[in-house]
Structure 1
């Protein structure tokens, strides 16, 4: 067997368990880093997630954001309320659904998430280790496939 051969299930499972442990640790450390950055940009992790989702997808409803991020609608609503309190988002009429407004970025919101992304990209660009495109592609493939296997988990 070579490193390019698919792993049998009894070997794959413990390797993916290693990935889960690392992802958990990475998430917790990244969250701490975001909290440190909150002092700079004034944007916490939850608000950051809302702003970035709107940056990438355009206006969305709270339920759409919850489904997209596998988060409860109530949590997303709190983050949207926090973002609105900071002047980063606003509700606009939704032509498709009268009672569920679309949430969109304001100019201040675009500037805030732009500053957060620029700072994060600066930090991410400092990662050493000679990572290649194939390394990153492999990581994205593994995490995406694992995420797909958990797509039936309901967060609401």
Structure 2
């Protein structure tokens, strides 16, 4: 292993390996959490909405979509699902009369905290005790760079 930067063609090949791992990894972690003692009504999409609101406070549906690179339509469906379970509520938006802010309810805060606690319990068992801070820092750095490189992708654009 070397600390030298990879040439572009090798970098592309190695980062393609990462892309192929990220999707299945994300879906498996979320599915594992959903299958356990997860809170009823907190699937992957609702979980994403609840966590965004937990971290960022009240947001509009378009703001949530941009923050997570998800379509507004998908986020709206997840907000509707969360509202049906009493996890979120719409409140007036002083900056925009027609685009309400969505905020967590107490039930929503309890639900996302329960899901996060379960996730942390599962994720804390990964690596067999040999992963270091440097390993995790490198992983976060690579994934952040990959995400930044695709920041111009419009998630609401129709793909034909």
Note the 1:128-143 alignment, pairs <5 A. 128-129=127-128, 130-143=130-143
Note the residue ranges of structure 1 that are not aligned, 5 or more in a row: none
- Runs of 4+ with >2 A deviation: none
Question: How far apart, in 1, do the equivalents of 2:78 and 2:51 lie?
Answer: 12
Shift of 1:142: 0.3
Residue aligned with 2:126, SS = coil
Question: How far apart, in 1, do the equivalents of 2:97 and 2:33 lie?
Answer: 35
Shift of 1:10: 1.8
TM-score (norm 2): 0.92
Residue equivalent to 1:148: 148
Shift of 1:18: 1.0
CA contact (8 A) 2:90 2:101 kept: yes
Residue equivalent to 2:66: 67
Note the residue ranges of structure 2 that are not aligned, 5 or more in a row: none
Residue equivalent to 2:31: 32
Aligned length: 154
CA contact (8 A) 2:38 2:114 kept: no
Shift of 1:16: 0.8
Note the 1:1-156 alignment, pairs <5 A. 3-37=2-36, 40-42=38-40, 43-129=42-128, 130-156=130-156
Question: How far apart, in 2, do the equivalents of 1:83 and 1:28 lie?
Answer: 20
Residue aligned with 1:103, SS = strand
Question: How far apart, in 1, do the equivalents of 2:144 and 2:10 lie?
Answer: 19
RMSD after superposition: 1.2
